[in-house]
């Protein structure tokens, strides 16, 4: 599956206080033709999203300041078409349930395989993005 089949230069926002996650996702998805922006905290990332909406947001859950849930909530409020994917090192069923209730596209536990994330992102891009019900 290639990106060109789906959309030209989809916009991807990566938020993780683990610097390496941002660096690697930038490497991989940049080469795949994504327009990637990387942040290590929620505040500047939301500013960027407010300036220009993203198609996909990949965010860590537990971070100092704004956490993944808050980012999910704000991004979905700003632009319901944006798909939010949460990645976390401490996945609990309750947190996942809450995230799905807030309209997360998928919930991925760290450590994940790169292919897994690629599949989820491509799936998110493939689906029409307007019908998400408000929580």
Partner 1 sequence: MNAELPQAAATPGAGDAGPPVTGGLFGARSMKGKIVISLSLIYFFGGLAMLTALFTLTRVEDKIDIIESLYELNQEVLETRRYEKNYLLYGNEADLRSALDYLDRLRAAVARLRTTPGFPPETVPDYETRLEAYADLMARLARNQLQGAELLVLEGAIRDSGHELTGFIIERDGRTRQEVTAAAQRYRTLIVIILVWVLLLGAVISALLIGWVVRPLEFIRKAAAGIRQGELTAIPLGPMIRGSVEGYELVDSLNRMLHALEIKQDQLVQSAKLAAVGKVTAGIAHEINNPLNNISLTAEVLLEDLPNIECADRLEMVRDILVQSDRAREVVHHLLAFTRTRKSTSREPVALCALLRETELFLRNEIRIAQVELATRLPETELVVLGNPNQLQQVFVNIMLNSIQAMAPGGVLSVGATAAEADGRVRIEISDTGPGIPEEIGARIFDPFFTTKSEGTGLGLSVCVSIIQEHGGTIEVESVPARSTTFTIFLPLAGSAPEDGL
Binding site for partner 1 (CB under 8 A): 18, 20-21, 23-25, 27-28, 31, 62-65, 67, 87-90, 109-114
CA–chain centroid gap for 118, Å, is 11
Q: Tell whether the torsion through CA atoms of 75, 81, 87 and 91 is positive or negative.
A: positive
- Rounded to a whole number of angstroms, the minimum distance from the CB of residue 66 to partner 1 is 10
Whose Cβ is closer to partner 1: residue 65's or residue 128's? 65
Between 29 and 82, whose beta carbon lies closer to partner 1?
29
Closest C-alpha to 126, from 116, 115, 118, 114: 118
Closest approach, Cβ 32 to partner 1, in A, equals: 11
The answer to whether the beta carbons of residues 65 and 43 sit under 8 Å apart is yes
How near is the Cβ of 89 to partner 1 at its closest, in Å? 4
């Amino acid at each position: 599956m290639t990106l060109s089949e789906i959309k030209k230069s989809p916009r991807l926002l990566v938020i993780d206080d683990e610097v390496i996650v941002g660096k690697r996702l930038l490497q991989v998805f940049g080469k795949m033709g994504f327009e990637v922006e990387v942040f290590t905290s929620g505040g500047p990332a939301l500013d960027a999203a407010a300036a220009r909406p993203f198609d996909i947001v990949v965010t860590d859950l537990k971070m100092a300041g704004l956490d993944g849930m808050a980012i999910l909530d704000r991004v979905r409020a700003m632009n319901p078409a944006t798909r939010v994917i949460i990645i976390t090192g401490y996945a609990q069923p309750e947190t996942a349930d809450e995230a799905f209730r807030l309209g997360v596209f998928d919930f991925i536990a760290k450590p994940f395989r790169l292919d897994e994330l690629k599949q989820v992102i491509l799936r998110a891009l493939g689906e029409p993005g307007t019908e998400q019900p408000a929580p």
